[in-house]
A and B are shown apart, each in its own frame.
Chain A
Amino acid sequence: MGALSLSQVTKSFGKTEVIKGVDLEVAEGEFCVFVGPSGCGKSTLLRMIAGLEDVTDGDVSLDGVRINDLAPAKREIAMVFQTYALYPHLTVRDNMGLALKQAGEPRAAIDTAIKRASAMLELDPYLDRRPAELSGGQRQRVAIGRAIVRRPKLFLFDEPLSNLDAALRVATRIEIARLHRELGATMVYVTHDQIEAMTLADKIVVLRAGKVEQVGSPMELYNNPANTFVAGFIGSPQMNFLKAGALGQRGETLGIRPEHLRITPGGAISGSVSHVEKLGGETLVYIKTDPHGLVTLRLFGEHDFAYDAGLSLDIDAPRAFHFDKDGQRLR
């Protein structure tokens, strides 16, 4: 239950095309994350799957049935929003039960479904409160509960963690991962945060300007990016892009992750320390170089560097990526 398939899906607002022919298969029970910079069309694509935006062209199918023209409520989907979007005039219980009530389910079935969801999310003490009496994290749990109650074929999440503070974000992220394991449901999740994408996804879809740049598991994208955009977007801190010519390497650009650089006296890259960030477990060193610009080096443990001290680096050659002048990967 819940295999999603998009084929040649496009969306235009007037003459501007914001989604330019997206093909995608999400298998049953898969956790798929759309990731990309703001304005890349990931939220629009999610809203098209939900039925909140019309599909200009192409097909959206769920379990092999074309759902382009179905109303959102008939698609057997549930959605969790960034701003929680709880009904302010209803209690937590009624917020969670509204969709089933609208669908004409019997009272007893609704109560059972609410009980199950509230037990999963530990919402029992809050069932008779209104959204205004809850904290941000509790509200988002209610919003997730509202989605669970419906037993949808497909869960849609639209940047659900963006309004939470850092600690709560991590806790809720773990909770969503646990729910995915327990429910075994298909989920599509939109975020601009690549860490959320890496930690939650079975499959990541990297979008840029309405086009799919690459689809794959987190480690596929990390270890085998198709182009400089994906290479730069996945992984934190960002991959270093060096001038391949200056290093005597093939291609136009050489990509190397900060953890794959080594301090080597007389190494191929030399420069001076411009900034050091000590995070305890790791140390990030920003090195001003010529002609590569600012290069990030990631070291594990604590290290001390004097500002402006000279430093030579070498690359871990097997871990480097080569890109042509259009940013495409050379294999």
Chain B
Amino acid sequence: MHSARTSPVRSIAAHAILLTYTLIALFPVFVIVINSFKSRKAIFAEPLMPPMPGNWDMVGYKTVLQQGDFFQYFLNSMTVTCASLFFVLLFGAMAAFALSEYRFRGNLLMGLYLALGIMIPIRLGTVAILEMMVAGGLVNTLTALILVYTAQGLPLAVFILSEFMRSVSDDLKNAGRIDGLSEYRIFFTLVLPLVRPAMATVAVFTMIPIWNDLWFPLILAPSEETKTITLGSQVFIGQFVTNWNAVLSALSLAIVPVLVLYLIFSRQLIRGITAGAVK
């Protein structure tokens, strides 16, 4: 990996820039986490100080765990994110395979149509989506959220995956056909393992907006049983008084699962790159 032009100065400069960016990106997260362990007074007095024995206070976490059903909220968020992710990857990869592999009339137009969703925000259709969900009796169900998030994630998934699938060797797929593998076997056992790095990328890009979303849970599934963690945290933000301890604790807790999912996918991503010999 070392190129002949790498000099220590260049390398230090690159690391300095990257470290600065990392610090900027992590700073809000850091502030949220340290303040979640402090008393309300200490949060306002010295927001940038780390928790000390004097101002240490777990009241936020206590509130979060006692008030509301936070475990249920977590479970809801997990269910919605994982299910949506599964469907986005499955349907996205299948559509991408069809677009990249088969010649049919309107292939290009279909590809453009599927990619159009990247540019049009799905929230523009909120009213229509709500009407549809009411008509379908899906309001206040996790199914409603999974359907919407699957639709939201598909355009980017199809776009990225079809580019990657074009790069999978035609000979390999043809060898499978001659050996009598079905198109499904070719797709699942030959093509998907080779585009695993792309799948991991799509998974990360799809997962984070879903986990963080407040809009659709608020509109489609605000009931106590179907609340997601982001929506659940909002109970502590009032019009006049905000329970900052509880809000910060809830947010700190909400980071954990998404971090775990991210670590799983990024490991897949690295493994995919290192094992990715096509020939």
Contact = CB atoms under 8 A, between A and B. Distances in A.
Given A88-B193, A88-B194, A89-B193, A83 B177 contact: no
A77 to B, nearest CB: 7
A29 interface: no
A84 B171 CA distance: 8
B169 interface: yes
A88 B171 contact: no
Contacts of A246: none
Contacts of A87: 172, 175-176, 189-190
A79 B278 contact: no
Nearest to B105: A14
Interface string B172-183: 101111111100
A50 interface: yes
A103 interface: yes
Q: Is the interface of B mostly helix, strand, loop or mixed?
A: helix
Most chain A beta carbons < 10 A, residue from B176, B178, B180, B279 = B178
Interface residues of B, number: 20
A88 B180 CA distance: 17
Contacts of B180: 71, 73, 99, 102-103
Contacts of A77: 178
A52 interface: yes
B26 interface: no
Contacts of B181: 73, 98, 102
A146 B193 CA distance: 22
A128 B264 CA distance: 30
Contacts of A89: 189, 193
Contacts of B179: 73, 98-99, 102, 146
**Contact-residue size bin, chain A (C-beta under 8 Å from the other chain):** 20 to 34
A126 to B, nearest CB: 16
A72 B277 contact: no
Contact of B174 (A52, A84, A102, A139): A52
A98 to B, nearest CB: 5
Interface in B68-120: 103
Contact of B279 (A51, A84, A98): A84
B107 to A, nearest CB: 12
B174 A83 contact: no
A79 to B, nearest CB: 5
Nearest to A139: B279
Interface in B157-186: 169, 171-172, 174-181
B186 to A, nearest CB: 10
A1 B186 CA distance: 30
Contacts of B175: 79, 81, 85-87, 146
B274 to A, nearest CB: 11
B277 A78 contact: no
B276 to A, nearest CB: 9
Given A73-B179, A103-B180, A82 B171 contact: yes
Contact of A85 (B103, B174, B189, B193): B174
B174 A81 contact: yes
Q: Which 6 A-B pairs have the closest CB atoms?
A: A73-B180, A102-B180, A85-B171, A81-B171, A99-B179, A85-B175
Interface of A: 13, 47, 50-52, 71-73, 77-79, 81-89, 98-99, 102-103, 132, 139, 146, 158, 163
